[in-house]
């Protein structure tokens, strides 16, 4: 028996191997993948990226054909590099670098060698591609922006990097992905799904036809078209008004939370980041550290909110029952606390109730009211937490859970925050600047616009969002679900009335628009920096918030103009004009419009209050002036300008 043991063992092992191989070939595909088979070439077919329309159906983003030269390093044979480089418009050094990059990615997988050829270059190159083994041309779609506005809204697409590829296996080297704006937020919706062809190769590495007659091939699925909430006409008008200025504007529809306009200035033409010019132009925009055109000030700009914050101070005081709206407080040109004094522009001895305090933006009234909130139970530490909780119910101190690609949470301090500054006991006077929107509170334009929408709705808001509809799909329910504040509805009436009086006879009375009942609030924010170790006050920021009409709100808006002096000077005028533009479609306050178009803040961004120039070396910008007047004709209807 022993003499057959070795033979039997060999037979048994052979049978086991045979059985396993049979199972893998017939019953299982785990051990084999078409993607790993070197005898099969994989060719991806890229889908049409979804179109983007504005809320009224205006086409904003479409596609144009693009051609990439692909390379599979292991298949590259000796070639006439001089001729090839001339055709591709690159030099020999670039050729070597690009080939090395492709080899580092993969020897056997294709990657982009030269991207986004023009139609003319493609036509010339296509006839000679047979001479360059290992290289082939792949067709795909490139974005075509049918507008010069909304760069920060629409975003752009660019090539994926290794981090993206490692995180999502869908993407391959050379693929394009949404980088900013809606292109990024709705990438998975817009991109569609790639198709693939499997091509059989012979032993000489030549293509001999579809693998198994194309049984495993798939066709590309086009991306879905989307309609965004932006009103292109309002967006274009806002960018026009913000030319030669810096700041951010957010306009919302209070009844839905839809973003009507999202303006960041300075801006640029979105077409600057399309095609082979993208890299060069992006570098210019990225390194412009003075204008920062790629920085979305409407979403990422964090500012002290200034006097519009008094609306929240007042409404929290009403909810906490520390003041009655009819109670009057006397202003002696400011508010004295300890040995310090908070100045106010009111005439000394003026007595204000809640409505008139908002109308005249009285610092003394709201400083006194703020102290009552914090000292309600004799402990400012617990009072600051109650105050903070109310504020956060308006969406402050958070990203708002929206569908935008970037943002900042701002800052709403609480007891924990102040315990790091005052480890022992602290008093309400330590934080009294919060009462008037200075101090430690910080907000973004979209957060303040959302606060105004909540006031317009008398106590609730809808999550701000930019998606209106998706072809053959639905949008999340969270965008149609109201978010309620901690403030009872009855307390909003005096706040709204105060905002209405701001336009009727208060700090924005000269900004009123006939036929529209606008409710607003001016804001002037002190602006400090350190120059040579000395704390220096620069030109103040101009802030304005508003909604209209008073009893049936259609639009809520927040405008921030950096170094714009005071609230009604720049921001207030812009807000009034944009409200009229949206509600009426035409402008009657052409005096305000003409003033804004002829007044520039180009030299105010680093100007100390003393008037002495503080020099900053401004860099040359790429198409940073947002829109000229003629550019508004891009949305002409029946030859009628916006």
pLDDT of 150 above 60: yes
Proportion of the chain above pLDDT 90, given as a percent:
56
Residue 553 vs residues 136, 144, 337, 449, 451: alpha-carbon distances, Å: 58, 36, 39, 13, 14
Nearest to 452 by CA among 394, 510, 517: 394
| Average confidence (pLDDT) over 136-165 | 90
Residue 294 neighbours by CB under 8 Å, 6+ apart: 180, 285, 286
| Helix or strand holding residue 159 (H, E) | strand 157-159
Location of structure tokens 């028996």: 1
Q: How many angstroms separate the CA atoms of 154 and 616, rounded?
A: 31
Q: With 70 as the cut, is the pLDDT of residue 570 above it? A: yes
Phi, psi of 617 (to 5 degrees): -75, 100
Is-contact 144 274, C-beta < 8 A? yes
Give Dmax (Cα) for the chain. Answer: 120
pLDDT higher than threshold 80 for residue 503: yes
pLDDT at position 27, please?
57
Over residues 55-102, the pLDDT tens digits come to: 999 999 999 888 889 898 988 888 888 889 988 888 989 999 999 988
Contact 487, 396 (CB under 8 A): no
How high is the pLDDT of residue 321? 96
pLDDT at 624 over 50: no
Q: Please determine, for residue 387, whether its predicted confidence score (pLDDT) is greater than 50.
A: yes
Mean pLDDT of the chain: 86
The upper half-sphere exposure of residue 158, i.e. CA atoms within 13 Å in the direction of its Cβ, equals 18
pLDDT at 32: 54
Instruction: State pLDDT tens for residues 358-379.
Output: 999 999 999 999 999 999 988 8
Please say whether the beta carbons of 140 and 46 come within 8 A. Answer: yes
ω before 266 within 30° of 0 (cis)?
A: yes
Predicted TM-score of the model (pTM):
0.84
Could you tell me the pLDDT band of residue 612, with boundaries at 50, 70 and 90?
Answer: very low
Quick: pLDDT tens for 334-352: 988 888 899 898 888 999 9
Domains and CATH numbers, the chain: 40-228 (3.90.1310.10), 232-635 (3.40.710.10)
Q: Residue 633 has what pLDDT?
A: 38
pLDDT at 121: 81
6-15 pLDDT, tens digit each: 777 777 777 8
Strand duo 329-331 + 350-352: pairing: antiparallel
pLDDT at 236 > cutoff 70: yes
Mean pLDDT lowest among 102-106, 334-338, 624-628 = 624-628
Under the banding of pLDDT at 50, 70 and 90, the label for residue 626 is: very low
SS3 543: strand
**Of 197-206, 467-476, 517-526, which gets the smallest average pLDDT?**
197-206
Least confident window among 38-42, 43-47, 453-457, 564-568: 38-42
Query: Which residues, at least 6 apart from 176, have a Cβ–Cβ distance to it below 8 Å?
Result: 140, 142, 157, 158, 159, 160
Q: Is the pLDDT of residue 397 over 90?
A: yes
């Amino acid at each position: 028996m022993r003499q057959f043991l070795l033979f039997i063992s060999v037979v048994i092992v052979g049978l086991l191997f045979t059985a396993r191989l049979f199972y893998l070939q017939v019953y299982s595909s785990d051990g084999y993948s078409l993607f790993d088979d070197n005898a099969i070439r994989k060719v991806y077919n890229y889908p049409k990226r979804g179109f983007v329309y504005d809320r009224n159906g205006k086409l904003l983003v479409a596609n144009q054909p693009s051609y990439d030269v692909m390379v599979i390093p292991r298949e590259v044979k000796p070639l006439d590099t001089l001729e090839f480089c001339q055709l591709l418009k690159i030099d020999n050094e670039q050729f070597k670098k690009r080939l090395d990059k492709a080899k580092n990615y993969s020897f056997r997988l294709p990657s982009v060698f030269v991207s986004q050829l023009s139609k003319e270059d493609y036509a010339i190159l296509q006839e000679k591609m047979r001479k360059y083994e290992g290289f082939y041309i792949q067709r795909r779609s490139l974005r075509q922006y049918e507008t010069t506005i909304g760069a920060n809204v629409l975003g752009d697409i660019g090539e994926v990097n290794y981090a993206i590829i490692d995180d999502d296996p869908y993407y391959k080297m050379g693929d394009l992905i949404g980088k900013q704006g809606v292109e990024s937020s709705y990438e998975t919706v817009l991109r569609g799904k790639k198709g693939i062809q499997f091509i059989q190769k012979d032993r000489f590495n030549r293509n001999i036809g579809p693998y198994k007659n194309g049984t495993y091939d798939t066709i590309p699925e086009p991306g879905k078209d989307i309609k965004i909430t932006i009103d292109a006409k309002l967006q274009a008008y806002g960018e026009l008004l913000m030319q030669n200025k810096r700041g951010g504007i957010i306009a919302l529809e209070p009844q839905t939370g839809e973003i009507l306009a999202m303006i960041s200035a300075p801006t640029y033409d979105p077409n600057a980041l399309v095609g082979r010019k993208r890299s060069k132009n992006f570098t210019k925009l990225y390194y412009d550290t003075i204008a920062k055109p790629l920085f979305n000030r409407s979403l990422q700009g964090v500012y002290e909110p200034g006097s519009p914050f008094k609306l929240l101070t007042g409404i929290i005081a009403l909810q906490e029952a520390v003041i009655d709206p009819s109670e009057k407080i006397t202003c002696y040109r400011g508010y004295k606390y300890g040995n310090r004094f908070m100045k106010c522009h009111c005439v000394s001895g003026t007595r204000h109730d809640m409505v008139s305090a908002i109308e005249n933006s009285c610092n003394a009234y709201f400083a006194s009211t703020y102290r009552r909130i914090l000292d309600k139970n004799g402990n400012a530490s617990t009072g600051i937490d109650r105050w903070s909780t109310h504020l956060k119910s308006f969406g402050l101190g958070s990203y708002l859970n929206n569908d935008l690609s970037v943002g900042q949470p701002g800052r709403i301090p609480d007891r924990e925050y102040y315990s790091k500054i005052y480890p022992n006991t602290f008093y309400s006077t330590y934080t009294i600047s919060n009462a008037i929107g200075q101090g430690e509170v910080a907000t973004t334009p979209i957060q303040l616009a959302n606060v105004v929408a909540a006031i317009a709705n008398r106590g609730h808001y809808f999550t701000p969002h930019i998606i209106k509809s998706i072809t053959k799909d639905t949008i999340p329910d969270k965008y149609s679900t109201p978010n309620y504040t901690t403030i009872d509805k009855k307390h909003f009436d005096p706040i709204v009335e105060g905002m209405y009086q701001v336009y009727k006879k208060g700090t924005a009375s000269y900004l009123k628009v006939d036929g529209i009942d606008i409710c607003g609030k001016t804001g002037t924010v002190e602006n400090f920096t350190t120059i040579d170790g000395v704390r220096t006050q620069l030109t103040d920021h101009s802030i304005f918030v508003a909604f209209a009409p008073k009893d049936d709100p259609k639009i809520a808006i927040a405008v921030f103009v950096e170094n714009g002096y005071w609230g009604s000077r720049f921001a207030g005028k812009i807000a009034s004009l944009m409200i009229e533009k949206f509600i009426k479609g035409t402008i009657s306050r052409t005096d305000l419009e003409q003033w804004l178009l002829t007044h520039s803040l180009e030299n105010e961004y680093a100007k100390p209050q003393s008037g002495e120039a503080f020099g900053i070396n401004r860099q040359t910008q790429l198409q940073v002036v947002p829109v000229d007047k003629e550019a508004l004709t891009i949305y002409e209807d029946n030859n009628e300008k916006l």
